[in-house]
Amino acid sequence: MNADPYRELRVGFTAAVSHELRTPLARLLALIEGASLPGSDPAASLEQMRAEVELMDELIDDVLFLSELETGREVVSLGRTRALPIVDEVRRSLAERAEHAEVRVAVVGGPEIELPLRPRMLRVVVENLVANAIRYAGPGSTCTITLSQEGAGPLLVVADDGVGVRRSELPRLFERFYRADQARSSRGTGLGLAIVKHVVTAAGGTVEAQSAPGHGLEIVCRFPPG
């Protein structure tokens, strides 16, 4: 009998998901227990509990979406989409989060740029890239979303001028659940960039990250010509 070549991958992924869920669950249990102690602040505890539940919900949504992509049930590339309206929509939807993190989000690019993605898939890519910059770049940073056209095809670049990451960590940024050193205490799910890579490569494109400590992070998505 032939061994299932994907069994080890599935087992590892399941173990990783279980591990990632245990952390917010442990914090939630600690908050529940602490809320009953004398002198506790029930309102503050309740707000923190809500944050932990929202993180678990986000993680489950990301896991299910990634699973949907990998089983082929979601058509990633279907026609072409004018990118600027989607990018502007994402910028507006994340404006409050960006303001809270003290990160400015700017958009550069013409309305003629089209990317070989369905609108939903393009939204997922841009949301994850911008949310990553908002989460990690640091106060006072600027995140710039650039749409351009080069000889080989259209480009989507999301770059910030924040803290950056070590060069040695760049190859692992798109791994599931991987977090660079400065992101270890992050509230993120660790799946956003993995989803970005899967969507872009499924559309025939490539993704690469460039960075250096103190010089920000730039993620370049290159797509095939139309």
142 and 217 both lie in a single domain? yes
In a domain, 1, yes or no: no
> Please, which pLDDT band fits residue 8 given cuts at 50, 70 and 90?
very low
- Which pLDDT does position 6 carry in this prediction? 44
Q: Look at 71-75, 142-146, 171-175, 206-210 and tell me which has the smallest mean pLDDT.
A: 71-75
106 and 216 both lie in a single domain? yes
153-160 and 114-115 beta bridge pairing: unpaired
In a domain, 75, yes or no: no
Distance between CA atoms of residues 185 and 188, nearest Å: 9
Please say if the pLDDT value at position 200 is more than 50: yes
Of 70, 95, 113, the residue that ends a domain is 70
In a domain, 44, yes or no: yes
Contact 199, 223 (CB under 8 A): no
Q: What is the 3-state secondary structure (H, E, C) of the chain?
A: CCCCCCHHHHHHHHHHHHHHHHHHHHHHHHHHHHHCCCCCCHHHHHHHHHHHHHHHHHHHHHHHHHHHHHCCCCCCCCCCEEHHHHHHHHHHHCHHHHHHHCEEEEEECCCCCEECCCHHHHHHHHHHHHHHHHHHCCCCEEEEEEEEEECCEEEEEEEECCCCCCHHHHHHCCCCCCCCHHHCCCCCCCCHHHHHHHHHHHCCCEEEEEECCCCCEEEEEECCCC
57 and 93 both lie in a single domain? no
In a domain, 199, yes or no: yes
- Which pLDDT does position 141 carry in this prediction? 95
99 and 130 both lie in a single domain? yes
21 and 90 both lie in a single domain? no
81-82 and 217-222 beta bridge pairing: unpaired
> Please, which pLDDT band fits residue 189 given cuts at 50, 70 and 90?
low
111 and 201 both lie in a single domain? yes
60 and 152 both lie in a single domain? no
- Which pLDDT does position 171 carry in this prediction? 78
Of 70, 89, 122, the residue that ends a domain is 70
Give the residue with greater pLDDT, 85 vs 168.
85
**Mean of pLDDT over the chain:** 80
Please say if the pLDDT value at position 132 is more than 60: yes
Number of domains forming the structure of the chain: 2
Distance between CA atoms of residues 20 and 104, nearest Å: 30
For 33-76, the pLDDT digits (tens) are 887 778 778 788 888 788 777 777 767 766 666 666 666 656 66
Query: Which domain covers residue 12, as residue numbers?
Result: 7-70
For 84-128, the pLDDT digits (tens) are 999 999 999 999 999 999 999 999 998 999 999 888 889 889 999
Give the residue with greater pLDDT, 181 vs 151.
151
- Which pLDDT does position 17 carry in this prediction? 59
103-108 and 114-115 beta bridge pairing: unpaired
- Which pLDDT does position 28 carry in this prediction? 79
Question: Under 8 Å CB-to-CB from 33, ≥6 apart: which residues?
Answer: none
In a domain, 33, yes or no: yes
In a domain, 2, yes or no: no
23 and 101 both lie in a single domain? no
- Which pLDDT does position 217 carry in this prediction? 93
CATH code where residue 126 lies = 3.30.565.10
> Please, which pLDDT band fits residue 150 given cuts at 50, 70 and 90?
confident
Of 70, 95, 124, the residue that ends a domain is 70
What is the average pLDDT across 205-213?
A: 88
Contact 113, 82 (CB under 8 A): yes
What is the average pLDDT across 200-212?
A: 88
Closest CA to 128 of 61, 50, 72, 47: 61
Closest CA to 213 of 175, 176, 181, 191: 181
